[in-house]
Structure 1
Amino acid sequence: MDKLQLAVPTSSLGKPEGGHTIEAILQAAAAHGIRGIEVCYEGILSHAIRRANSSKTPSEDDMLNAAKDIQQQCQNLGLDIFVLQPFAFYEGLTDPDAHRSAVQRWAHWLELADALKCDIIQMPSNFQLSGTTGNMDRVIADMVEIADMALAVTPPVRIAYEAVAWGTHFDIWEQSWEVAKRVNRPNFGLCLDTYHIAARVWADPETLDGKLANGEQALEESMRRLVKDVDLDKVYMLQLSDAERLSSPLLEGHPLYVQGQKSRMTWSRNARLFPCEEQYGGHLPILQVTKAVVNELGYRSWISMETFSRHLWEKDVELPTKMAKRAAESYSKVWRELEWDKL
């Protein structure tokens, strides 16, 4: 695809725990002009459980059948599934049994991607607090193993690796790009996310103003490097997301504080927003990041509007519709602000 189109992850329009079904989420997306879908594993899992009318853990066949049904729903609604996500907790595992188990899980995910008829699996950098190594040779070997597995299936599957802002060993895009270069496989590239980039380089939820002291300069330099160094063909997906400016530092005593969890992860899980939602407290310079990737680097594919929020668990039957409307409105604002009609 060589043009910008609106997409959304299923998890950004509702949560199974809130009673939001995959049917409601997909219908809400279609009704608001969203055409691209990132299917989240939790959506397949909850759909498989509902289809079986059982609380038991679904079998792999149950999961594959649920994925096929989701694909059929999307086809009926005119939606394109382009990503399955997130394949987490993989690279750098130090326990050989844990690694073997993760590779077996990957084989199942390749089958799920085939059932969904999508060719990208998104992978966040590992953020386990223990049991991992950041040794680059080990990480590269791990990534080559699954990249080669993904090349061997028909059709081949691409891996979009994302450095999350709370990653244990890899938390900035430069590190994920170094991994991609060293893996050196035609199906291994990047997922770039405006939240993870800005939250790590520009922001600090543990400070009163929510910012790093040298954030503006650091982000500007980071974006110059991105435009100069990254191979556009290796940018497989782009997610746009902002976050609320908190009223007080995210430290012990804050209502959202979670002991033992990195503050940027806590912030992400509870207070992410769609772009240009200043009315809800959005304050990250995500347009600066988006401009670098789209206007300057030249990215032309799905623009995925991603959010995580404590509100997504609310038992509100209208929530998927409300969130889809917000995603579409946010996308329109970004389009106008960055003058994408002139690209």
Structure 2
Amino acid sequence: MASRPGICSISLGRVAAGHTLERRLDMAQIHGFRGIELFHEDLVSVAEETHNASFAGNKLPQPFTSTGAQEIAAAHKIRIMCAERDLTIICLQPFWQYEGLLDRAAHFHNLTVKLPHWLNLAHALGTDMIQVPSNFLPADQLSEDFNLAVADLRRMADAGLAFAGLDSTGKPLPITTTTKDHGLDNHGVIRFAYESLAWGTRCDTWEDAWRTVQAVNRSNFGLLLDTFHLAGSRTFADPASRSGLVPDAHTKLRESLARLVREVDVKKIFYVQIASAEKLAEPLVLGHELYQADQPARMSWSRSCRLFYGEEGEYLPLFDVAHAIFQDLGFRGWVSHEVFTRRAWDQDEDVPLDLAGRAAYSWMKIAAAFRLQHPPPAPPPTRVSSPDSITEAGKMEKERGETSMTAVAATDEDVVVSGVETLALGGHNSEDGQKAFL
């Protein structure tokens, strides 16, 4: 099985900066991506666009707050938009601030109102996966009881099974307790990909996330490995220090990656996110332009300073992390670029084109270094649903003298990497991959 390239919708620009989801999907398709991680804010933006259009120039009520029905309608629309561009919706994300809440009334609302809505959104989108980042609410709002967090997440997983009419063991539910009794339609199983955020309050390393996945012990609850969080956590990076590193960083990361390879069942990795980050010129502390007193330094750093794999200026040892995941563990599946960058907030029209091109070039490097695809046949003609977008993109690239990255094409079985500067794909070992990376 070959890996397939994906990208997060907000890694191609933010809707608040004027970058429509349709434009970003065009750029993803043109540059050969096969899948999209859909951020919930983009689903809401489509709901708002539809809502505003219905007013036909009349004064609109402000601010817009989407209803459940509007979001479901938007999900159906996005599903069609992606299908027209041969894009798979990898997952809907992020379902956050969920597990371990001390406020059990809030938890009950999340479990009985928000979660069923998200299950129906996933079904409407045509995806079978919801991404769940570890909770990063303040410590005084979260229980220290690991078992409580596990129980909360297990209920989530069980709801995803019940959505398909299955019990926690995967067996059909008795007719007296069908999912319809719980207000859920009987559809396919929804999976949950759990991710440790580098600034998570109780779970901030892959080890914590893996321990949680094992404890939840459900077939539809697995791991999301994000290379930024693996290397950007307290295991290796510290943006608040002048060196950018924790003490003994390289030793700690090497030992952590060895444990990853030794302990994790690759079948429980639902997908992988690829991202690096730049080293800050000054420590991210009080007085730094990115400093915010109400959030951890790693969060501020992550939300503004990520880079695509192999880009100039990165300092996280991503080759080593990727080698552990793709070579040592042998992961094959969705590989998605989730990069949060200041560039995404620029209002220039060419932001989606620029970011998609950077991501596509990054994918070429990854795919070549770790042989994530079969040897490529000649790429088929690119299919794009918006000719105007192709024309505009082509003109812009020609004006800039940039190499088009449009031929990172793929099928469900094979990922094809091509283009003017295609890297050699045969015979890569670790040393060859390192050269390609550099």
- The amino acid that maps onto 1:182 is A
What is the aligned counterpart of 2:104 among 85, 88, 96?
Answer: 96
**Which residue in 2 is equivalent to 1:313?**
345
**Which residue in 2 is equivalent to 1:8?**
7
**Which residue in 2 is equivalent to 1:128?**
137
**Which residue in 2 is equivalent to 1:18?**
17
1:303 matched to 2:312: no
**Which residue in 1 is equivalent to 2:251?**
217
**Which residue in 1 is equivalent to 2:124?**
115
What is the aligned counterpart of 2:114 among 82, 105, 110?
Answer: 105
Q: Alignment partner of 1:137: what SS?
A: helix
**Which residue in 1 is equivalent to 2:291?**
257
Which stretch shows the higher mean deviation, 308-317 or 249-258? 308-317
Q: Alignment partner of 2:137: what SS?
A: coil
* Cα distance between partner residues in 2 of 1:339 and 1:219: 24
Q: CA RMSD in A?
A: 1.2
Q: Deviations over 1:243-272 (max 9, x none)?
A: 111000001011111112111001001111
* TM alignment of 1:238-317, pairs within 5 A: 238-278=272-312, 281-317=313-349
Q: Alignment partner of 2:294: what SS?
A: coil
TM-score w.r.t. structure 2 length? 0.76
Q: Deviations over 1:286-328 (max 9, x none)?
A: 1211111111101110110110012211111111111111100
* Cα distance between partner residues in 2 of 1:263 and 1:70: 34
- The amino acid that maps onto 1:229 is E
**Which residue in 1 is equivalent to 2:220?**
187
* Cα distance between partner residues in 1 of 2:151 and 2:322: 31
* Cα distance between partner residues in 1 of 2:257 and 2:220: 24
Is residue 161–residue 220 contact of structure 2 (8 Å, CA) maintained in 1?
yes
Q: Alignment partner of 1:336: what SS?
A: helix
1:85 matched to 2:112: no
1:241 Cα shift?
0.3
**Which residue in 1 is equivalent to 2:355?**
323
What is the aligned counterpart of 1:204 among 226, 234, 238?
Answer: 238
* Alignment gaps of 5+ in structure 1: none
* Cα distance between partner residues in 2 of 1:204 and 1:116: 38
* Alignment gaps of 5+ in structure 2: 53-59, 164-186, 373-424, 429-438
**Which residue in 2 is equivalent to 1:35?**
34
1:336 Cα shift?
2.7
Is residue 325–residue 331 contact of structure 2 (8 Å, CA) maintained in 1?
yes
What is the aligned counterpart of 1:172 among 205, 215, 224?
Answer: 205
Change (3 A) 1:339 1:300: closer
Higher helix share: 1
1:339 Cα shift?
4.4
1:152 matched to 2:162: yes
- The amino acid that maps onto 1:216 is H
- Report how many residues are paired: 340
* Cα distance between partner residues in 1 of 2:318 and 2:44: 32
Q: Alignment partner of 2:207: what SS?
A: helix
Q: Alignment partner of 2:141: what SS?
A: coil
* Cα distance between partner residues in 2 of 1:339 and 1:120: 26
**Matched residues, percent identical?**
40
* Cα distance between partner residues in 1 of 2:194 and 2:33: 24
**Which residue in 1 is equivalent to 2:368?**
336
- The amino acid that maps onto 2:361 is E
Larger radius of gyration: 2
**Which residue in 2 is equivalent to 1:226?**
260
Q: Alignment partner of 2:43: what SS?
A: helix
TM-score w.r.t. structure 1 length? 0.97
- The amino acid that maps onto 2:223 is L
Is residue 343–residue 351 contact of structure 2 (8 Å, CA) maintained in 1?
no
- The amino acid that maps onto 2:248 is N
* Cα distance between partner residues in 1 of 2:141 and 2:247: 33
What is the aligned counterpart of 1:59 among 67, 72, 78?
Answer: 67
